[in-house]
Amino acid sequence: MYDVLVIGGGAAGFYAAIHIAEKRPNTKIAILERGKDVLTKVKISGGGRCNVTHAEFNPADLSKNYPRGEKELLGPFHTYASGDTVGFFEERGVALKIEEDGRMFPVSNSSQTIIDCFISEADRLGVQVKTLCSVNGIEQIVEEGVKKWKVAVGESFMYCKKLILATGSNPKMWKYIEALGHTVVPPVPSLFTFNIKDERISNIPGVATHAEVNVIPKKNFGKKTGKTKLDASGLSSDGPLLVTHWGMSGPAILKLSAWGARILEQYNYQFKIQVNWVPDYHQNGLLELFLKVKQVEKKTVLRTKVLDIPKRLWANLVKAAGIDDTTTWPEVSKQQLTSLSEQLTAGIFQVNGKSTFKEEFVTAGGVDLKEINFKTYESKILPGLYFAGEIINIDAITGGFNFQNAWTGGFIAANGVVEGLNANIQK
């Protein structure tokens, strides 16, 4: 019999358990992890450096990085946000640093620093960590008029007063939650890169530049498929775009995949995007610039650095506009320059499929947000059951935001559990 069982030995689970143990010493707590290792996602995140959080300290602005959960997280972020996370780690001797794009990492540049911090804190506070504990059943029972949780682990059972589920995107756990009466929003991938075969980018992997990307909506899509039509108009993103061996990646693409997760899944990952490689310009303005250059420049179009974009990309787009290597500015036609302006500001690319972005796999979907009290992260359907992390229908763009959701949820769930346990004693 435990006071608290936390199912899931990841970021949210450890954060919740540590805060409960700290606020309420002598509480009997165990973390149950199905694998042989805990904190595996922490270990591989950020290329092994662990992107702990993001240096966005304003709760309203912070919440805007969540395609699902923006409204629900506003209150929780006023309670516990990025600044509190930084304080938590610094109090435990783990210094964090801010990189140019706002991402925050441990100064050590090693995720092991974060893992060691959690494991030593759990150990210091007496939290039991049990690995290879695969849960295969959850039910709420009543004994002597008191509700408690019965958790099946292997051939045996464990019991607790309060239960926290922090199992991430685990289909098995979602089934148990549905059996208990909760609604689970069907999961679809988020944070993925686009597979594109196109001569304009085929021979330039590694090229990166700031770009604006728009998804081109499919006309009458919902009618033809019989699915509920999700509107892709206005689905756009901007930021660094990276050309890869298989297509396009980088923050601009990843953000688009997160915001469009459900729409792009409906499209079966077959759709068109429009790319503006020079977001400071629109097509007509760029054409005007080229016509001015034509009046003064004598060199070839290919060898003239008119815009601040990578040379190899410029060369490919010049070729795509029908301008050969030897054409000089005096020789180039207005029609060719119009085509070049279009290639640069409104190039259309066909996407055929997606690829998982490194190990940063994130899912859109999970426990329906309407069924959770975000003041405590407790179930509105089953008192004494709490959720934290990616098990609920919240996900973010890249940059440390998914971890911040785990820390905030873990902290507030811990507060809810402590209040609940204390209230039981007073009764």
Quick one: which of 370, 359, 361 has its CA closest to 390?
361
Rounded to an integer, what distance in angstroms lies between the CA atom of residue 239 and that of residue 211?
A: 6
State the Cα–Cα distance between residues 132 and 153, nearest whole angstrom. 10
Does residue 172 register a pLDDT over 90? yes
Contact 396, 72 (CB under 8 A): no
What is the per-residue pLDDT for 66? 98
Q: Which tokens is 144 given?
A: 């002597």
Residue 226 reports pLDDT greater than 60: no
Q: How far apart are CA 340 and CA 323, in angstroms?
A: 8
pLDDT of residue 229: 63
- Token pair of 149 as six digits: 């949780």
Tell me what the mean pLDDT of segment 29-39 comes to: 97
User: What pLDDT score was predicted for residue 28?
Assistant: 98
**Encoded tokens for 390:** 């990616």
Give the pLDDT mean for 301-309: 94
Q: Which residue has the higher pLDDT, 227 or 142?
A: 142
Examine the pLDDT at 4 and tell me if it is beyond 60.
yes
CA distance between the termini of the chain = 20
Three-class secondary structure of residue 349 per DSSP: strand
Q: What is the pLDDT of residue 233?
A: 76
Secondary structure element (H or E) that encloses residue 119, with its range? helix 111-124
Q: How far is the CA of 217 from the CAs of 52, 197, 359, in angstroms?
A: 35, 20, 29
Alpha-carbon distance values, 393 to 192, 372, 406 (Å): 18, 10, 12
Instruction: Provide φ and ψ at 275, rounded to 5°.
Output: -115, 130
Q: What is the pTM of this model?
A: 0.92
CA 125 to centroid of chain Cα atoms: 31
pLDDT, position 427: 59
Judged against a pLDDT cut of 70, whether residue 1 lies above it is answered with yes
Per-residue confidence (pLDDT) for residue 224, from 0 to 100:
52
Question: Residue 378: which H helix or E strand, with range?
Answer: strand 378-379
Give the C-alpha distances (Å, rounded to integers) separating 285 from 46, 185, 218, 288, 299. Answer: 39, 45, 28, 5, 22
Distance CA 49, CA 103 (A): 11
Distance of CA 148 to the CA centre of its chain: 34
Kindly report the average pLDDT of the chain as a whole number: 95
**Tokens 């409204």 belong to residue:** 71
Q: Can you tell me the mean pLDDT for 49-61?
A: 98
Band of residue 234 on the pLDDT scale cut at 50, 70, 90 = confident
Q: How far apart are CA 172 and CA 372, in angstroms?
A: 20
**What distance in Å separates the CA atoms of residue 161 and residue 424, rounded to the nearest whole number?**
10
Tell me which H or E stretch contains 375: none
Average pLDDT over residues 414-423: 97
* Helix, strand or coil, per DSSP, at residue 369: helix
What pLDDT, on the 0 to 100 scale, is given for residue 360? 55
Q: Which of 9, 394, 31 is nearest to 185 (CA)?
A: 394
pLDDT recorded at residue 416: 98
Q: What is the pLDDT of residues 344-396, one digit of tens each?
A: 999 999 999 999 866 557 899 999 999 999 999 999 999 999 999 999 999 99
